[in-house]
Amino acid sequence: MTAPSTRLRVVVIGGGILGASTTAQLARGGADVTLVTAGTLADGASGRSIAWLNSSGDRSAEYHYLRLIALDRYRTWRERHPESADYLRFDGALKWAGEGSSFRQTFEFERANGYDAVWVDRADVAKIAPDVNADAVAAEGAIYNAGEGWVSLPDLVAALAAEAIADGATIRENAGEARVDVVDGAATGVILADGSRLQADRVVLATGPAVPAQLAALGVVVPDATPAAFVLFTDPVGTEVRTVLNTPRVAVRPTPDGRLVLDADWAEQSIEVADDGTLTIPDASVRGLLDEASKVLAGNPRLTAQRVGSGPKPIPGDGDPVAGAVPSIDGLYALFTHSGATLGLVLGELAAEEILSGAPSPVLEAFRLDRFTGGGADVEVLTGAWTPVHP
């Protein structure tokens, strides 16, 4: 990326994977960049993500391509950062359908699009994924994606922040809720919770599930299907688990310290939301996730809960990412996506490149905000929470 002739002042709002990635790329490209976040880095959606790195399932060609190059960026990161092997792994993923369903069509779609997918009969599961209980796999078999993996986003965010600081960026944690300062239709900086202002030539809004409300306050409507969600972190597990699992009743991925992260759509639907927005996770859902995870792991280990991470899960109204300049506000850029883990590195790179060069990326053309306002192709906006294959 070519550094601009004069240093562009950019403020990034949001300390999750998208904000940290964009900040690191902007600083590397020579911008005078400041990241501000309400709390600490990765204390929002990035800290409670299943963080499965994939392009699994039936997606549009544009979205599939974006996810494929996103996976490529993770492999590049791992080559350049050997220490990332502690928090970034590509040990493969296994998924199978529930009773009355089939993944054969999904498998055929993945193969037809050149995705690395292998059909595994139940009898052969132990050869490919010895950490999986083969008896729990669907009778028809499962799909194994050898090129998929997982990342611990808090560790990656910390590494990106360190690189950004080394390249001259400023990071301000615990800054409270910040808002975009708009004057005469242009973003001129950011107003922090204490009333102080940070002047900027460009502002990037990367606050996860808060993006739609923050844009709405500026008169910009983004359809939003964000649901309440939670993931469960177990205590350390006595047996080694390497394979990411997406099963009918639970998704499972390892952590760097020998624990597991679990989630499931049925568990999310059990969340009780109070009038003030407070979330209550039923004990039965926690126990259910632990039981379901034990069933799909070899040896059926006894699992116990260490903690729950709950909060809104960012999902745009049509399920696809929102990335790019906000057409009605000069100098404002927004990033809002469900698949923040998979897309984290590549969206930060492409966003920074667009901001520094002023030239839109063709890769992001299908994901512009104006698709909702008549400036792009017609899209179907969901009226409820979108239920995808896990991110």
DSSP string, 113-161: TT---EEE-GGGHHHH-TTB-GGGS-TT-EEEETT-EEE-HHHHHHHHH
Predicted confidence (pLDDT) at residue 100 exceeds the cutoff of 90: yes
Residues 305 and 182 in one domain: no
Which of 312, 339, 366 is where one domain is finished? Answer: 312
Task: Read off the tokens for 207.
Answer: 């606050």
Percent of the chain with pLDDT over 70: 94
Whole-number pLDDT of residue 385: 38
CATH at 300: 3.30.9.10
Quick one: 20 and 69 in the same domain?
yes
Do 192 and 330 belong together in one domain? yes
Question: Measuring CA to CA, which residue among 310, 244, 268 is closest to residue 47?
Answer: 310
323/344 same-domain check = yes
* Mean pLDDT of all residues in 19-41: 98
Same domain, 85 and 98: no
Asked if residue 377 and residue 299 are part of one domain, the reply reads no
DSSP for 325-346, written as a single string: E-TTSBTEEEEE-S-HHHHHHH
Q: Would you place residue 206 in the very low, low, confident or very high pLDDT band (cuts 50, 70, 90)? A: very high
Per the structure, how many domains does the chain have?
A: 2
- What is the pTM (predicted TM-score) of this model? 0.94
Report how far apart, in Å, the C-alpha atoms of 174 and of each of 44, 71, 258 are. Answer: 13, 31, 30
- Determine the structural domain holding residue 291 and report its residue range: 93-146+228-312
Mark whether 154 and 74 lie in a shared domain. yes
CATH number at residue 188: 3.50.50.60
pLDDT digits (tens, 9 = 90+) for 107-116: 999 999 999 9
pLDDT of residue 1: 54
> Is the confidence at residue 382, as pLDDT, over 70?
no
| 56 and 134, same domain (yes or no) | no
Long-range contacts formed by 281-288: CB under 8 A, 24+ apart: 281/230, 281/308, 281/310, 286/232
Residues 271 and 390 reside in one and the same domain:
no
| Judgement on whether residues 262 and 281 belong to the same structural domain of the protein | yes
* Predicted pLDDT at 379: 41
User: Is 231 in contact with 50 (CB distance < 8 Å)?
Assistant: yes
